[in-house]
Chain A
Amino acid sequence: MMLHSISARMFVALGALAGSSGLVVAVAFGAVKEPSAPRPVAHLLLADSAECAAPDSMLIQDVDTIVTGTDSLYGINGRLMSKLPMIPTESVTVILDSTICHRARIAAGMAATVPDSNMVASVSVLKVGATRYVVSPIGTVGQVGEWHTHLTFDSTFSLPPLAAWAW
């Protein structure tokens, strides 16, 4: 059985493992244990479809900062900008489910200024709490100069998205 979602912290810990061993990891977990290691930079290829891409560890860090931050800049204003709730980082999970990724990909394309269901080929998805998804279009389609676009959807991927933000 392929695990379709994983704690973001565990995800980046696996990234550290992959980064140190040179392996591409695709494993199943019976239980999730919180790692204590710092988050690495390396990407982790753990997707189960072409529409799913492993999230950049920086994205996970950024979302963690937003949902836990108490400062006005990245915490309060970050949540205001991204429409994400204040929750523990344990509630941020990496989504690798192909069905969710497919819905996220379509929703991201249809949310564009010129709606196009084929505009986005693949996405990285983070589930934030029970009611939010952060969807990051992969590739140049999501790139805005030095910024990368992220979309916040509700749990049903309703349009328009709750927020479009760039980091």
Chain B
Amino acid sequence: MAWTATVLLLVTLAAMQACSEDATSPLRFPRETRPLANIVLPTDTTGTVVFSTTLPLTDTSPYLIGFPLDTFSQPRLVQLTLSGMIEAHNIPGEYADRVFGPDGWWDQPFSVSLIDIYVFFNNVNWLGPAPGDHTGDSTRSRIWVANGPGHLNRGPGFTCDIVMPHDCWSYSYVSGHAQNITVKVLDVPTGMDVETVPGVTLTSHVPAGTYTFRWAMPTWELNAGAPYKIQAWHWYPVNGPDSILSSDTLTRFKTRMVSQSGTMRVTALVNGVVRTDSASIVIRCHMGDTVLDNQVIADTMEKAWDLTKADSAPDQRREQPFTYWTDSANATHIQTNFNDPNSTPCTSAANWGPQAKTGVIVHTHPFTWPAIMPVTCPKGWAGTQAAMCSGDDDRNNLPINAFGVVIQRDYVCEYKTHKRLKNFHRTGPGCQYP
């Protein structure tokens, strides 16, 4: 009994000492200002377990956790997971009225130091609101940047509530239950995307302009402080020489005036690994027509082509039409007739609106030129090849000042009634027609 009382006294004294530690002492374990939530990683997070071991039941001496020293010669994002059974004891009589509530917390008696940084696992166990002694299972993890050798300390078994007046608690490990630590190096998926200046909707083909290329990491990685350094930005235009752009090692955005299609590639040291990623941008050709160069028209043309599904199975393909016109009051109109059930791979219909003054009627042909027509087109002769503009296209009676446009996979055909105006390949010099 005397021995037990002595131990309790020592623990109490130690706890009180801990409560009054100098905040600047290098030996002090920094506390979180609020409890940490358990880390929930995205489901697609992957990583490599570099260390996982079962700790002795009673030994509280520091451990060198098992990864090689050179494993973290570069900063790496790791997930530390601690688990095991612990007991929490309040000090009888002294903190008897302490009630664990949602804001109550204590340290699980593990800490991991990575160089000089100690990682705590606060609020690691929730044993219940009742005062007194508690025993419970705990599995908690945290993401941390590891750099250099790691050490594990299993604490002496006390901690204090950060809320004044401090409540201090002692700990012990439950005999017969394993406690484990796992260190997993997390993969840091990255990606490149393209952002536009405000107000521009980025589609596959965009007009020449200023675009921002962004090297992206998921939010959780950024919040966890995933280490990275941008090493280089390379711009590869489809025409002309490549160029290396100036680089700030931490700026994940690169803005550039883009006048022709190309690919931006970024090289970065991410989580200790050199990674590259790229994003391409396709610049829409200037078509030389005030109607077709209209952003709305061009976007609608692309949408029509996408819905055509020219590369899908024949029964999935459809001609897709739309019309655009200016009425007598100079108001512009656009009318799509996409996915009309009466449209087939070989026909579609689009009507002019009232008072058509100028405009364009656009439709798609879900094949290239020359090409065999889709087998779903009703026809009596197998293997029939299709021309670019059809006879009906040529015969269409278009309103005065209006013209027709046919989009096929590789070519665009412009026509007026009984007259073809222009045909051009959809890939221009450093650009792409809609």
- A residues contacting B by CB (< 8 A) are 41, 56, 58-59, 62, 71, 73-74, 77-78, 80-81, 111-114, 119, 137, 141-142, 144-149, 151, 163-167
Contacts and interface: CB of A to CB of B under 8 A. Distances in A.
Contacts of B377: 144-145, 147
B381 A147 contact: no
B67 interface: no
B373 A166 contact: yes
B379 A149 contact: yes
Contacts of B393: 146
Contacts of B386: 147, 165-166
Contacts, number: 94
Contacts of A58: 391, 394-395, 418
Contacts of A167: 387, 390-391
A149 B382 CA distance: 11
Interface of B: 319, 344-348, 369-370, 373, 377-388, 390-395, 411, 418, 423
B391 A62 contact: yes
A33 to B, nearest CB: 24
B373 A147 contact: yes
Q: Which of A73, A74, A111, A112 has the most CB of B within 10 A?
A: A73
User: What 8 A-B pairs come out closest when comparing CB atoms?
Assistant: A145-B346, A145-B347, A146-B392, A164-B381, A112-B380, A144-B379, A81-B370, A164-B384
A74 B381 CA distance: 22
B423 A147 contact: no
Contacts of A41: 418
13 contacts: A56-B391, A71-B423, A74-B387, A77-B370, A142-B380, A145-B377, A145-B378, A146-B348, A146-B393, A147-B387, A163-B385, A164-B385, A166-B373
Contacts of B373: 144, 147, 166
Nearest to A163: B385
B345 A145 contact: yes
A73 B347 contact: no
Q: Which of B348, B383, B387, B394 has the most CB of A within 10 A?
A: B387
A167 to B, nearest CB: 5
A76 to B, nearest CB: 10
Contacts of B411: 73
Contact of B390 (A81, A114, A151, A166): A166
B418 A74 contact: no
Given A58-B418, A149-B381, A78 B347 contact: no
Given A73-B411, A147-B392, A119 B380 contact: yes
A149 B391 contact: no
Nearest to B345: A145
A13 B224 CA distance: 81
Nearest to B378: A144
Given A41-B418, A112-B380, A166 B392 contact: no
B418 A166 contact: no
B384 A165 contact: yes
A167 B392 CA distance: 8
B225 to A, nearest CB: 57
A56 B423 CA distance: 23
B383 A164 contact: yes
B391 A148 contact: yes
A147 B418 CA distance: 15
Contacts of A114: 380
Nearest to A82: B385
B392 to A, nearest CB: 4
B259 to A, nearest CB: 27
B391 A80 contact: no
Nearest to A144: B379
B387 A146 contact: no
Contacts of A166: 373, 379, 384-387, 390
B346 A146 contact: yes
B415 to A, nearest CB: 12
B346 A147 contact: yes
Given A41-B418, A73-B411, A145-B347, A113 B381 contact: yes
Nearest to A115: B380
Contact of B381 (A56, A62, A78, A111): A111
Contacts of B319: 145
Q: Which of A59, A62, A81 has the most CB of B within 10 A?
A: A81
A34 to B, nearest CB: 21
Contacts of B345: 145
Contacts of B394: 58
Contacts of A59: 391
A80 B390 contact: no
A167 B384 CA distance: 10
Contacts of A149: 379-381, 384
Contacts of A113: 379-382
B72 to A, nearest CB: 61
Contact of A141 (B369, B380, B387): B380
Given A149-B379, A166-B379, A166-B385, 17 more contacts: A58-B394, A62-B387, A62-B391, A73-B369, A137-B380, A145-B390, A146-B346, A146-B347, A146-B393, A147-B346, A147-B386, A147-B390, A147-B391, A149-B381, A164-B383, A166-B387, A166-B390
